[in-house]
């Protein structure tokens, strides 16, 4: 790696980290797992003057109970989320998404928080986090604030985070049952999602009492498939109903991505297929 | 057998077009020693302890533990670092270049452009391909006023550290005047197309033709003529280790040493001597560990000349350049990139009578070493494993504003095999026949076999390999289950490929340069054995195989043998490692040299033991000792006597080493049958491989573990071409697949389980009976996988799709087929 020269800081506390960021503002970059930042440094797409490594800050590398839900610290890696017993119990959708990310090396270092801060439209995490109504807890020189994941991610590679702020944790406000699934089609080179759909649902009798569908990879930013959710809410979830509802995915957003790896039409078609498959898988789970 | 093959081929192919380059057409040559006088390995060593056994690789411990030394691991005292400014444009005139700021930057020793370098280093060379009227443009090591592809070197910074050099590159200000770029080779042939090289009349670098047999007759007699356009897309070789060069010029000694990641140190030495106008005696080339090449390091690169020239400018300080992955993808040779228009004359019973193939090869912006030769191999191998009597390839090599193409694993044979194996399936589909039966109907069965393109296949038994593969895959049962799956609406497909390919490159007459290989076997006074080989293994495992051969011949242990390669300072001379030549040609040289050492040791032993003439004639090695009558000497004792110089036998001289240059009489032609089953997801277009079976025949197996390794890796690369890989340039000539996040090389998770077996059909081209296996997997797998996918889609009326068969392409084809009336 031959990046532009930068100063490297490894603060001991979150306060210290915030203090360094306050000093350097936009000239500084936080380093977590480095699996998005390092490639950018390598290609000189990012050239910060200062890199603040938060990956070893005490207390941030844990999954904890938080009210009836749980909190995922900024240092928690994809791998931890795959194997953490609390996650498996309270939030199985997270545990099912984690193994779909990257490869072993990426999962061993990359973090959920780093992923949402990077806001790659092809990243996997936004889909389940939208479905789970995740809250993002941000700290900065002026104190602490919390944003819903949907507000936090603004668009392609942009978030509401200011240059001197750090995300401390992501909070899943409550526990969720096992009826959930994450389905994805991988871009064959990077492994990122060309399309990814997360479904969390609840059933009463044979009817769907609540359903949340997060879709990633297909548009400028991940979104909740509200029209589909509305059609399925209260319905009996048979294959035909699901298939019919899934068709509305093209109406959910109007900015389907088109690139080297997939056209907008193909992404829309995949989203539709994956919604069906994820809902069926969630039902079967 | 091979010799007759040769003779027959020469007479029979007298009819073949004389336009074919001489080098390529002469497959048959005078075989070195007549087979009758030849000593075959398995005669000399009837019960080898090592050859043929699954011996673990000697090189693996150091490579797996990271203890090997690649170019980047070498750190010389006072070393300077080089970074290269590369063109961001596909085609542009350099209006001006301001380097002052870069020159003044801290740590910078110098900034160099064409005018500083041109007097020290000439153009990038090419091997003479024997093609008349070949147009070769000026190809300087740094752009001379014009850049012709994205990634072309334009200037170089030499600095105290790599960081300083890289930072200074950003300080060079170049004003470019963009020129129209041409990216599509067919459009490049249009009369009004922008010209890649203004000094040339057009973008056509060369035309070439090979033909044999009576095509008119074939096309007259055919029941049907099938037309198909096929593409072998552009690929990026992506060796694990990128390229890298260190060069140092010692002014006092007048000695240039170049450490570089290459497959061909000796050829490079000769070529560098020409570029730099230094006699070869003053140039030493060293290839340290080389982390894969796949043909992409079978070349002479601008950077190798550039670094050598820079080394003279900053002498005696060494200069080092290590290629980044991004540079590797843009500026190390690409592979394939051929478009073929096919006409196939076929009979309703599946017999193919003749094939016409009009090929356009997109060669990129320049000629690299073998750029023009590679697509001619496609033409030569067009007959595949079949005996149709007439074939013709016309070839146009076309300049475009892209990275030049050159050898990539298989180099012309995968393209040819893809064509001919698709043809077999197209014929089967056309007449609703089983592709297995079509292949059986057309197989060449008598060996030596002469192709209409002028080659003489040494030995083969294509049906045997096919039958074994069919059994291994349970083909009949599989077809029955496929029928059931189809009834359920599932898209399950089975594909085959029964390939033949060219290895052991090759007889010198059939090559652009010498096709021989050298080896020295040297025994020290204490009995330690060195093997110096002119081949240059970069992952193949010759260190192991050559130790196996030597240990068996000399009756010693493998760990007594040290194999040295890659240094022109200690290896007498050599050609290198490519075209699966190292074991068949280089291994034979090792065998012959070892045999000569053995003969001398027997004589020394007899002399030292005071043996009678009768005993001396029957010296034997048993349990690591030389026996003459009842008396014996150990291996080390004989070695000592040879050097001590007191009991040197009549007619011999002291010392214990032999050098042998082996010239093979022909190429070898390994073959095999690959079968693949896939299922296509109707809704997403994704292809999943459900099973893969391969039976390969590479002649006598020297080491089954190494063969498996070569076959597995080869299949992975062939699968990459079939399903994932493609170098994509946009219309302006920007490389869109410039990182591994966008260019999909197959990873472990993409690989199916492979069921591999072998048949053994020895060659008699060399005394080892070995053919070669480096490219087989790549050649066999691509068409097997594509044929399987097309077979899966056949119920929808789909007859062909171009590679790579990425999900969206398959999905679109399915949608289109569904919409068709
Ligand atoms: C080969 C490869 C394959 C991959 N495959 C996938 C995949 O399949 N799916 C997928 O979703 N992702 C994939 N990724 C991305 C991976 O998940 C990254 O780890 C993740 O996107 C970023 O997390 P990180 O911890 O590495 O963040 P870093 O790279 O350290 O940081 C990323 C960005 O976020 C900022 N940042 C990080 N943490 C904080 C914080 N706490 N507060 C404020 N800002 C912060 C950094 O400044 C930087 O701008 C892949 C990456 C690679 C290299």
- Average pLDDT estimate for A211-218: 98
Q: Is B25 strand, coil or helix?
A: helix
For the residues of B475-520, what is the DSSP string, one character each? HHHHHHHHHHHHHTT-EEEEEEEEEE--BS---GGGSSS---EEEE
pLDDT exceeds cutoff 60 at B35? no
pLDDT confidence tier of residue B220, bands split at 50, 70 and 90 = very high
Position B2 pLDDT exceeds 70: no
Q: Is B36 left (phi over 0), alpha (psi -120 to 50) or beta?
A: alpha
Q: For residues A173-196, give the mean pLDDT.
A: 97
Percent with pLDDT over 90 in chain B: 93
pLDDT band at B36 (very low <50, low <70, confident <90, very high): low
Shared domain check, B655 and B548: yes
Domain annotation covers residue B224: no
- State which residue of chain B sits closest to A260, comparing Cα positions: B736
CA quadruple B487, B491, B492, B495: dihedral sign? positive
Same domain, B438 and B299: no
**CATH number of the domain residue B496 falls in:** 3.30.365.10
Half-sphere exposure of A277 (CA within 13 A, CB side): 17
Q: How far apart are the first and last CA of chain A?
A: 44
The CATH number that applies at residue B151 is 3.90.1170.50
Give yes or no: residues B291 and B252 share one domain.
yes
Checking DSSP bridges between strand A223-224 and strand B146-147, what pairing results, if any?
A: unpaired
Query: Mean pLDDT across the stretch A246-275?
Result: 97
Average pLDDT, integer, range B322-337: 98
pLDDT digits (tens, 9 = 90+) for B88-140: 999 999 999 999 999 999 999 999 999 999 999 999 999 987 898 999 999 99
Residue B549 pLDDT: 98
Tell me if A222 CB under 6 Å of ligand 1. no
B92 within some domain: yes
Structure confidence at residue B801 (pLDDT): 98
> What are the backbone dihedrals phi and psi of residue B171, each rounded to the nearest 5 degrees, phi first?
-90, -10
> From the CA of A188, how many Å to the nearest CA of chain B?
6
Query: For the residues B222-231, what does the mean pLDDT come to?
Result: 98
Cα dihedral sign, B347-B351-B355-B361: positive
Please report the pLDDT score of residue A71 as a whole number. 98
Cβ(B784)–Cβ(B496) below 8 Å: yes
B585 and B708 both lie in a single domain: no
Number of domains composing chain B? 3
B14, pLDDT greater than 60:
no
**Residue of chain B with shortest Cα separation from A271:** B684
Q: How far is the CA of A35 from the centre of ligand 1 (A)?
A: 5
Rounded to whole angstroms, how far apart are CA atoms B796 and B790?
10
The answer to whether the CB atoms of A2 and B162 lie below 8 A apart is yes
In a 13 Å sphere around the CA of A60, the CA atoms on its Cβ side amount to: 28
Is A216 touching ligand 1 by the criterion CB < 6 Å? no
| Contacts (Cβ under 8 Å, ≥6 apart) of B446 | none
Which residues does residue A172 pair with via DSSP β-bridges, in sequence order? A70
Domain contains B343 = no
Q: Is residue B485 domain-shared with residue B573, that is, in the same domain?
A: no
CB contact under 8 A, B811 and A269: yes
Residue B29 has pLDDT above 70, yes or no: no
Residue B582 placed within a domain = yes
Question: What is the DSSP code string of A134-156?
Answer: -EEEEEETTEEEEEEHHHHEEET
Give the pLDDT band of residue B15 (cuts 50, 70, 90). very low
Residue pLDDT, tens place only, A34-86:
999 999 999 999 999 999 999 999 999 999 999 999 999 999 999 999 999 99
Mutation target to probe the B interface, by most B beta carbons within 10 A, among A2, A45, A217, A264 is: A2
Residues B688 and B812 in one domain: yes
Say whether both B690 and B758 belong to one domain.
Answer: yes
Residue A189 to residue B728, Cβ atoms within 8 A: no
Residue A154 has pLDDT above 90, yes or no: yes
pLDDT mean across residues, chain B = 94
pLDDT in tens, A83-113: 999 999 999 999 999 999 999 999 999 999 9
Mean pLDDT of B578-600: 96
Q: Indicate yes or no: CB of A260 within 8 angstroms of CB of B326.
A: no
Ligand 1: does its nearest atom lie under 6 Å from the Cβ of A118? yes
Neighbouring CB atoms inside 10 A of B575's CB total 28
Residues B437 and B494 in one domain: yes
From A7's Cα to the closest Cα of chain B, the distance in A is 14
The answer to whether the Cβ–Cβ distance between A103 and B166 falls below 8 Å is no
Q: Which residues contact B794 (CB under 8 A, 6 or more apart)?
A: B429, B493
**pLDDT confidence of residue B33:** 53
Among B322, B353, B376, the domain-final residue is: B322
Q: How confident is the model at residue B513 (pLDDT cuts 50, 70, 90)?
A: confident
Condensed to tens digits (0 to 9), the pLDDT of residues B672-690 reads: 999 999 999 999 999 999 9
Cβ(B673)–Cβ(B536) below 8 Å? no
Q: Is the pLDDT of residue B9 over 90?
A: no
Q: Which of B380, B725, B426, B377 is nearest to B579 (CA)?
A: B377
pLDDT tens figures, B606-621: 999 999 999 999 999 9
- Does B728 reach chain A within 8 Å, measured CB to CB? yes
**pLDDT range class, residue B624, cuts 50, 70, 90:** confident
Q: Are B772 and B504 in contact (CB under 8 A)?
A: yes
- Pairing type for strands A7-9 and A135-140 reads unpaired
Which structure tokens are listed for A185?
A: 């089609």
Has residue A218 got a pLDDT over 60? yes
B167–A4: do the CB atoms touch at under 8 Å? yes
A99: Cβ below 6 Å to ligand 1? no
| Mean of per-residue pLDDT scores for chain A | 96
Give chain B positions within 8 Å (CB) of A189: 724, 737, 740-745
Per-residue model confidence (pLDDT) at position B37: 73
Nearest ligand 1 atom to alpha carbon A100: 8
User: Which residues in A have their CB inside 8 Å of a CB on B?
Assistant: 2, 4-5, 39, 43-44, 103, 185, 187-190, 260-263, 266, 269-270, 273
| Residue B1 alpha carbon to ligand 1 centre in Å | 62
Considering the domain architecture, whether residues B255 and B156 belong to the same structural domain is answered as yes
Pair (B556, B646) in one structural domain? yes
Distance CA B70, CA B73 (A): 5
Residue numbers in A near B736 (CB within 8 A): 260
Does residue B338 form part of some domain? Answer: no
Answer whether residue B741 is part of any domain.
Answer: yes
- Predicted structure pTM score: 0.95
User: Domain check: are B134 and B155 in the same one?
Assistant: yes
Q: Which domain holds residue B172?
A: 71-179+243-322
- Is residue B306 within 8 Å of B142, Cβ to Cβ? yes
Judge whether residue B34 has pLDDT over 70.
no
pLDDT in tens, B362-377: 999 999 999 999 999 9
- Residue B808 and residue A266: Cβ atoms within 8 Å? yes
B190 lies in some domain: no
Please identify, among B645, B662, B679, the residue that sits at the C-terminal boundary of a domain: B662
Q: How far apart are CA B417 and CA B423, in angstroms?
A: 10
End position of a domain, from candidates B281, B297, B322: B322
The answer, yes or no, to whether residue B16 has pLDDT greater than 90, is no
Question: Mutation test of ligand 1: which of A25, A80, A115, A222 has the most ligand atoms closer than 8 Å to its C-beta?
Answer: A115
CA distance A38 to B411: 36
Pairing of strands A143-148, A223-224: unpaired
Residue at B387 is within a domain: no
Asked whether A112 and A80 are in contact (CB, 8 A), the reply is no
Ligand 1 within 6 A of A208 CB? no
- Answer yes or no: do B49 and B96 share one domain: no
Average pLDDT over residues B465-476: 98
Q: Give the distance (Å) from ligand 1 centre to CA of residue B809.
A: 30
């Amino acid at each position: 790696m031959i990046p532009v020269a930068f100063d490297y800081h490894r603060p001991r506390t979150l306060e210290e980290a915030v203090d360094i960021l306050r000093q350097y503002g936009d000239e500084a970059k936080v380093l977590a797992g480095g699996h998005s930042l390092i490639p950018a440094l390598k290609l000189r797409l990012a050239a910060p003057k200062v890199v603040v490594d938060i990956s070893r800050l005490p207390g941030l590398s844990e999954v904890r109970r938080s009210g009836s839900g749980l909190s995922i610290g900024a240092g928690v890696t994809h791998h931890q989320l795959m194997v953490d017993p609390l996650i498996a119990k309270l939030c199985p959708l997270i545990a099912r998404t984690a193994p779909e990310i990257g490869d072993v090396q990426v999962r061993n270092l990359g973090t959920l928080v780093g992923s949402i801060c990077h806001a790659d439209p092809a990243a996997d995490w936004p889909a389940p986090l939208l479905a789970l109504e995740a809250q993002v807890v941000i700290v900065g020189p002026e104190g602490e604030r919390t944003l819903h994941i949907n507000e936090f991610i603004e668009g392609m590679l942009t978030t509401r985070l200011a240059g001197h702020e750090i995300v401390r944790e992501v909070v899943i406000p409550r526990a969720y049952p096992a009826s959930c699934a994450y389905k994805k089609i991988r871009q064959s080179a990077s492994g990122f999602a060309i399309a990814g759909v997360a479904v969390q649902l609840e059933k009463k009798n044979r009817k769907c009492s609540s359903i949340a569908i997060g879709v990633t990879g297909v548009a400028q930013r991940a979104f909740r498939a509200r029209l589909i959710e509305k059609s399925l809410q209260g319905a009996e979830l048979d294959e035909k109903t699901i298939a019919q509802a899934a068709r509305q995915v093209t109406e959910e957003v109007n900015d389907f991505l088109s690139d080297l790896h997939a056209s907008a039409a193909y992404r829309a078609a995949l989203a539709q297929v994956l919604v069906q498959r994820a809902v069926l898988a969630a039902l079967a789970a | 057998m091979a010799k007759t093959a040769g003779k027959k081929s020469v007479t029979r192919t007298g009819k073949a077009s004389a336009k074919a380059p001489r080098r390529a057409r002469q497959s048959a040559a005078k075989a070195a020693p007549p087979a009758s006088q030849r000593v075959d390995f398995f005669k000399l060593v009837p019960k080898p302890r090592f050859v043929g056994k699954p011996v673990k690789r000697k090189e693996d411990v150091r490579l797996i533990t990271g203890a090997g030394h690649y170019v980047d691991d070498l750190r010389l005292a006072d070393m300077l670092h080089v970074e290269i400014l590369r063109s961001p444009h596909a085609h542009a005139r350099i209006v001006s270049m301001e380097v002052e700021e870069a020159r003044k930057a801290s740590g910078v020793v110098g900034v160099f452009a064409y005018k500083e370098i041109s007097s020290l280093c000439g153009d990038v060379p090419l091997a003479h391909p024997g093609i008349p009227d070949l147009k070769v443009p000026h190809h300087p090591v740094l752009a001379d006023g014009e850049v012709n592809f994205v990634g072309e070197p334009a200037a170089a910074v030499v600095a105290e550290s790599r960081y300083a050099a890289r930072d200074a590159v950003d300080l060079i200000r170049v004003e470019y005047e963009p020129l129209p770029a041409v990216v599509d080779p067919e459009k490049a042939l249009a009369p009004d197309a922008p010209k890649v090289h203004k000094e040339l009349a057009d973008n056509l670098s060369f035309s070439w033709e090979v033909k044999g047999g009576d095509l008119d007759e074939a096309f007259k007699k055919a029941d049907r003529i099938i037309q198909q356009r096929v593409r072998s897309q552009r690929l990026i070789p992506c060796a694990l280790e990128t390229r890298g060069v260190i060069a140092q010029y010692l002014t006092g000694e007048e000695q240039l040493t170049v450490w570089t990641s290459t497959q061909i140190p000796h050829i490079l030495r000769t070529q560098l001597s020409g570029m730099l106008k230094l006699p070869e005696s003053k140039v030493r080339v060293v290839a340290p560990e080389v982390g894969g090449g796949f043909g992409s390091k079978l070349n002479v690169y601008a950077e190798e000349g550039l670094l050598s020239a820079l080394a003279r400018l900053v002498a005696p300080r060494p200069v080092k350049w290590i290629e980044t992955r991004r540079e590797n993808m843009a500026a190390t040779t690409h592979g394939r990139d051929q478009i073929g228009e096919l006409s196939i004359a076929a009979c309703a019973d599946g017999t193919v009578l003749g094939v016409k193939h009009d090929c356009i090869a997109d060669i990129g912006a320049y000629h690299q070493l073998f750029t023009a030769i590679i697509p001619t191999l496609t033409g030569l191998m067009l007959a595949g494993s079949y005996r149709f009597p007439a074939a013709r390839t016309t070839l146009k090599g076309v300049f475009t504003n892209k990275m030049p193409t050159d050898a990539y694993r298989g180099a012309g044979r995968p393209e040819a095999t893809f064509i001919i194996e698709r043809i077999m399936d197209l014929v089967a589909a056309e007449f609703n026949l089983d592709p297995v039966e079509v292949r059986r109907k057309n197989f060449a069965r008598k060996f030596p076999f002469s192709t209409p393109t002028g080659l003489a296949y040494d030995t083969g038994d294509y049906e045997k390999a096919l039958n074994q593969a069919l059994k291994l895959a349970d083909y009949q049962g599989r077809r029955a289950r496929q029928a059931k799956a189809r009834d359920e609406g599932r898209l399950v497909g089975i594909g085959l490929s029964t390939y033949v390919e060219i290895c052991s490159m090759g007889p010198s007459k059939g090559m652009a340069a010498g096709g021989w290989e050298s080896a020295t076997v040297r025994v020290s006074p204490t009995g330690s054995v060195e093997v110096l080989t002119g081949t240059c293994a970069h992952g193949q495992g010759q260190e192991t195989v050559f130790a196996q051969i030597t240990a068996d011949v000399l009756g010693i242990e493998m760990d007594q043998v040290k194999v040295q390669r890659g240094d022109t300072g200690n290896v007498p001379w050599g050609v290198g490692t490519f075209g699966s030549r190292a074991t068949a040609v280089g291994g034979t040289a090792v065998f012959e040299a070892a045999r000569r050492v053995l003969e001398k040791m027997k004589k020394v032993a007899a002399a030292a033991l005071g043996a009678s003439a009768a005993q001396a004639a029957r010296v034997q090695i048993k349990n690591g000792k030389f026996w003459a009558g009842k008396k014996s000497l150990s291996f080390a004792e004989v070695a000592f006597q040879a050097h001590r110089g007191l009991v040197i036998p009549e007619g011999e001289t002291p010392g214990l080493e032999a050098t042998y240059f082996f010239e093979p009489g022909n190429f070898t032609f390994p073959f095999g049958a690959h079968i693949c089953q896939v299922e296509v997801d109707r809704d997403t277009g994704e292809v999943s491989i459900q099973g893969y079976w391969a039976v390969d025949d590479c002649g006598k197996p020297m080491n089954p573990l190494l063969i498996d390794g070569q076959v597995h890796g080869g299949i992975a690369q062939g699968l990459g071409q079939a399903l994932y890989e493609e170098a994509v340039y946009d219309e302006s000539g920007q490389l869109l697949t410039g990182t591994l996040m966008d260019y999909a090389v197959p990873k472990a998770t993409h690989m199916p389980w492979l069921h591999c077996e072998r048949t053994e059909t020895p060659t008699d081209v060399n005394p080892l009976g070995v053919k070669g296996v480096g490219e087989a997997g790549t050649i066999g797998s691509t068409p097997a996988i594509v044929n399987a996918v097309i077979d899966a889609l056949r119920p929808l009326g789909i007859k062909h799709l171009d590679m790579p068969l990425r999900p969206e392409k398959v999905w679109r084809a399915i949608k289109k087929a569904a919409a068709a009336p």
